[in-house]
Chain A
Amino acid sequence: MAKNKIKWPIYHILIGGLAIIMLYPILWMVLSSFKESRLVFVTAQTLLPHPWEWGNYAKGWEGVAGYSFGVFIKNSFVIVIVATFGAVFSSSLVAFGFARNKFIGHGLWFGIMMMTLMLPADVVLVPQYIIYTKLNWLDSIRPIVIPQFFGVPFFIFLMLQFIRTIPAELDEAATIDGCGKFRLYYKIILPLIRPSMATAAIFSFYWRWEDLLGPVLYLNSPSKYTVSMGLKMFLDSESVSNWGPMFAMSVLSLTPVMLIFFIFQKQIVDGISTSGLKG
C-alpha cells in the first residue's frame, strides 16, 4: 500500500505532463489567434496575448478572394450533411444485407468489401477524376457526395458488428408474424442499431469536414470552396503574414469538430475500439 502511495503522484505527474505537451500546440494556436499578427512570432514563447486582439476573427471572417468565410462554412455543411446522410443510410442497408440474409456469393462479396476497406484510395484517384470530367461533374459537389450513397465499407463493417449482437430470435419472431425482410430492416433492426449509426455519422462528419483532396480536385470556383479550401487559400497568401486571422479561422474550423468530440465522446471511443475506425 505504502509503495502505491508514493507511486501515485509520480504516475500523475508523468501522464499529466505528457497530456500538457500534447495539448500545448493546440493551446498555442488558440491563444495566438488573439495576438496581433506582428506579435505572433515575436512573443511565440509566451502563451497569453498582450494585448488581446479580438479583431483577428472579424478580419478572418472577411475571407479570401472576395468570399466571406461564412460562405466556405455553409458549403462545407452542405457537403457534410448530404454525404453523411447518404453514407449512413446506404451503409445500414448493406450491413443488414450481410448480417441477416443468406444468399449465394455472400462470402465473396463480404470478402470484396473487406478488401476495399484496405484499398489505397490513390489507385482510383486518376480514373475517377477522368470519369467525373467526362460526366461533366467538375466544379460541383457531385464527385464528393454521390459515391457516399453506395455504402462506406468502414461503416458497413461497424454496423455489421452491431447487428450481430442483436439476437436472431427477434428476426424469427418477426418473420413468423409475417414480417418481410424489408419491414424487418426498418421496423426492427434500424431502430436498434441507432448507436452505431450515430457513430458512423460522427465519423462521416469528420472525414467530409476535413477532406481536402476532394475539394482541391473537384471545386474550382471560390464560391463553392469548403472550409479546408478557405484555409489553404489563407496559407497561399501567407506572404503578407497575417498570422492572426489565419489562426483565428483555423480555430474556428476546428470548433464544430471539437464540440462534437466532447458531446459524443462515448460513441467515438466505442466506434474506434470496436471497429478500428480511424480518426
Chain B
Amino acid sequence: MDVLNVDYMLGLVPVLLRYLPLTLQLAGAGMLFALVLACLFAVVRVLRIPVLNQLTIVFISFFRGTPLLVQLFLFYYGLPQLFSALTVIDGITATVMGLTLHFSAYMAESIRAAIVGVDRSQTEAALSIGMTNSQLMRRIVLPQATRVALPTLMNYFIDMIKATSLAFTLGVTELMGATQKEAAGSFLYFEAFIVAAIIYWIVVELLSKLQNHLETRLNKAYNR
C-alpha cells in the first residue's frame, strides 16, 4: 500500500472549500423552489382539483420514475437541440431545474401524506366554525403537517446536497467537479475523494443538528 500523501490532502482542503458555496447554493435554490412546488402539488392532490390533479399525477410519475441524471441531460443537452433559444439554460440553471423538479415530485408525496395524516376531526372542526378551504389549509392543516413532514423533507434536502455532485456532468464545477479535476491532475484519487467526502459529511452533520433543533421546537406544543 502506498503511503497517504497527507500534505496534498491538507493543501486540497482550502481549494475544495472554495467550491462549497456553489454546492450549497445549488441545493439551497433547488430546495426552495422544490418546497414551493411540492406544496402546490400536494394541495392539488389532496383537494383533487380536476385537471390539475391528473396533470400533477403524470408529472410526479415522470420525475419520480426517471433518474435525475437523465433529467439533467434532457434539460441541458436535449432541449437546446429542439429549441435553440433554450441554450440560455446554462449548467447551473439546468441543475437547479433538475433538482427542483425531481425532488418536488418526491416531496409532494411526503407532504401529501403528512396532510392526509392530520386527523379528519380537525378539518371538520375548522369547517364547522366557518373557515374557508384555504384558511383551513393555512391555519390548521399545514402547520400540523409541517411537523410530520419535516424529518422526511430534511432527508430530501440532505439527498439534494449530495445530488448536486451530478452537476459536473453539465460542466458546472462544484465541489465534486473540482475534486475530480484535482484527482485527475495529481492521480492521487484516495486523497482527493476522501477530502471531498469529509467535507460533504461535515455539512450533512451540521444539517442534522439543525434538524434536531427544529424538531424539538415544533414538538414543543406536544410535550407536557
Question: Are A and B physically bound partners?
Answer: no
